[in-house]
Chains A and B, each alone.
Chain A
C-alpha cells in the first residue's frame, strides 16, 4: 500500500476578547494519520502552527473531564473523538455550547463548580458514628444503586446537551443532579431531606423536560436523565406529603 501524505481541515471558533468583539472561525490544515484524536489535531495546531490557540486538556484518556468541546455540532471529549470518524472533514470545533466563552475553546465553569458545592456532595451519616463501630458494609446490590452515578467526571458535556440549561443557566443541571442522586442512593447516606431543598426548588429537577440528550452524550454512561427524572417522583412526594411530616418542612 502506497504511503500518502494526508491532511484534514479543521475549523475552530476563535475568540480573543482583547482583539475581537465576537467569535470568528479560523481554518487550519492538519497532517492526518488514522489514529489521531481531535485533541491531537488541536495540539498539532498549537505546537506547530498557531501558539495562540487556547483549549483545556489533561489526561488524554477520557477520565479527567477537561477536554469537552463541540465537534461538528455535538458535545464530545476531544481526546476520545477520532479524526478518522470525521472524514473527509472539515472538522468544526467550538467551545461547549450553553457556556460563556472565555477564550477560544475555554468556557467559564464557575457556575458549575458552585452548583457542585450546593448539593452537599459527601456522605451525610444517618446518625453519628464512632470509629469503634467499624466500617460501613454494603452488599453488591446496595453498591449497584449508586455506582453508575458516581462515574461522573465533571466534563459538562451533559450541560451542553441540555437545552433547558441553555435557556436558563440557573438550572442545577444534569451532572450535578446525578451527583446529588449518587449520594441520596448510597445506603451509607442519610441526607435526603437536606438535599430535597435543591431538588424541589425552582432551580431543581422541575426545569427538566426529559429531552434525554444528556444521557446520550455522557462519555461515562452515568445516565443523568434517569437521575433527574426519577427524582421528580421523590420531589412530588415531598411536595404533597410535607404537611404530614412530624418535623415539618420549610415551604
Chain B
C-alpha cells in the first residue's frame, strides 16, 4: 500500500539549537531596519531646520531611546559577527601563496575590517572640521 506521510514543518526552527541561532541571526534585520527608520527621521528633521533637528537630538537623549539603542547595538554586533561567519560560504576558493585561504581567516579579516571602519568613523565624527 502506498500512502506517503508528510510531516508538518510548523515550529521547525525550535527543533535544533542550530536553527534557533539562525533565527536569532535573521531577526537582527529588525534592528537594522529600525535604525534606518531612526536615521531617516533624523535627515527629515535636518531638512526641516535647526529646531526640528534639536528635537530629534533631544528624543535620542531620552532614557527609552538609550535603552533601545543598547538593544540595537547588541543586535548590530550579532549581525556583524554572523555576517562574517557566513561570508566565506559565499566566496569561491582563494589561494594565497599556494595555500587555500581558510574560512576562519576570511571571517577574522571581516571582523578586523569592522574594527578599522569603526575607528575611522569615530575619528571622523570627532575630528572632522
Contact = CB atoms under 8 A, between A and B. Distances in A.
Contacts of B13: 163
Interface of A is mostly: mixed
Interface string A194-227: 0000000000000001111101100000010110
Contacts of A163: 9, 12-13, 19
A73 B90 contact: no
Interface residues of A, number: 33
Contacts of A215: 89
Interface in A232-248: 232-233
A22 interface: yes
Given A163-B12, A230-B92, A216 B18 contact: yes
A18 B1 CA distance: 6
Interface string A141-168: 1001100000000000000000100110
Contacts of A69: none
A125 interface: no
Contacts, number: 68
Nearest to A17: B3
B15 interface: yes
Contacts of A23: 5, 7
B4 A108 contact: yes
A232 B5 contact: no
- Which 9 residue pairs across A and B have the least CB separation, nearest first? A100-B4, A17-B3, A18-B1, A101-B5, A229-B90, A229-B89, A225-B89, A17-B1, A230-B92
